[in-house]
Chain A
Amino acid sequence: MSAPILQLQGLCKSFGETEIIRGVDLELAPGERRALIGPNGAGKSTLFHLISGNLPPSAGKIAFQGREITGWAPQRINRLGLARSFQITNIFPKLTVFENIRLAVMRKQTQPTAFWRRVDRLPGLREATEALLERVRLQTRAKGLAGELSYSEQRSLEIAMTLASDPQLILLDEPMAGMSGEETDYTMELIRDVTAGRALLIVEHDMDVVFRLADRISVLVYGQVIATDTPEKIRQHQGVREAYLGEEVAGEVAS
Chain B
Amino acid sequence: MRTSTSLLLGGVALLAALPALLTAGLLNAAVQMLIAALFASAYGQLAGRAGMLSFGHAAYFGVGAFATVHAMDALNGAGLLPTPLMPLVGAAAGLGFGVVAGWFATQRSGTAFAMITLAIAELLHALAPQLKSLFGGESGISVMRTPAWGFNFGSTTQVYYLTLVWVLLSLALLYFHTRTSAGRLTLGLRENSHRLRFLGYDVHRLGVSAFAISGLFSGVAGALQVLANESANYVVFEAHVSASVVLNSYIGGVGVFLGPALGAALMSFFGYAVSDATQAWLLYQGVLFVLVMMFMPEGLVGLGGAAARRVKQLGASRAPPLLLLWLLAVLLLAAGAVFLVELLQRLCSQDYRALARAAAGWPPVTMFGQSWAAVGLATWIWPLGLLAGGGSLLAFAQRRLQMKEAQA
Q: Name A's B-contacting residues (CB within 8 A).
A: 52, 54, 73-75, 78-79, 83-84, 86, 90-95, 99, 102-104, 106-107, 109, 111-120, 122, 161, 164-165
Contacts and interface: CB of A to CB of B under 8 A. Distances in A.
Interface residues of B, number: 27
Contacts of B203: 75
B201 A115 contact: no
Q: Is the interface of B mostly helix, strand, loop or mixed?
A: helix
Contact of A90 (B176, B192, B200): B192
A52 B194 CA distance: 12
Contacts of A118: 176, 179-180
A112 B181 contact: yes
B191 interface: yes
Contact of A119 (B184, B197, B205): B184
5 A-B pairs with least C-beta separation:
A115-B182, A78-B200, A92-B191, A74-B197, A107-B200
Interface string B130-163: 0000000000000000000000000000000000
Contact of A99 (B176, B184, B196, B201): B184
A75 B181 contact: no
Contacts of B202: 73, 75
B333 to A, nearest CB: 33
Which of A73, A102, A106, A117: most chain B Cβ within 10 A?
A: A106
Contacts of A73: 197, 202
A95 B177 CA distance: 17
Contacts of A86: 195, 198
B180 A103 contact: no
A84 B197 CA distance: 11
Contacts of B205: 113
B181 A109 contact: yes
Contacts of B196: 103
A20 B185 CA distance: 35
Given A75-B201, A119-B183, 20 more contacts: A74-B198, A75-B202, A75-B203, A79-B200, A83-B199, A86-B195, A91-B192, A92-B191, A95-B187, A95-B191, A103-B184, A103-B196, A106-B184, A115-B181, A115-B182, A115-B213, A116-B180, A118-B180, A119-B179, A164-B199
Nearest to B179: A118
B177 A115 contact: yes
B194 A90 contact: yes
B188 interface: yes
A46 to B, nearest CB: 16
A165 B184 contact: no
Nearest to A115: B182
For the complex, would chain A's binding face be called helix, strand, loop or mixed by DSSP majority? loop
Nearest to B192: A92
A103 B16 CA distance: 39
Contacts of B329: none
Residue of B183, B198, B209, B213 most packed against chain A (CB within 10 A): B198
Contacts of A75: 197-203
A83 B205 CA distance: 20
Given A92-B191, A95-B188, A117 B197 contact: no
A114 B198 CA distance: 19
A120 B179 CA distance: 8
B258 to A, nearest CB: 19
B387 interface: no
Most buried by A among B176, B177, B194, B199: B199
B368 to A, nearest CB: 46
A154 to B, nearest CB: 12
Give the most central of B201, B202, B213: most A CB within 10 Å. Answer: B201
A52 B202 CA distance: 14
A106 B191 CA distance: 17
A92 B195 contact: yes
B223 interface: no
A92 B201 CA distance: 14
Contact of A92 (B180, B182, B188): B188
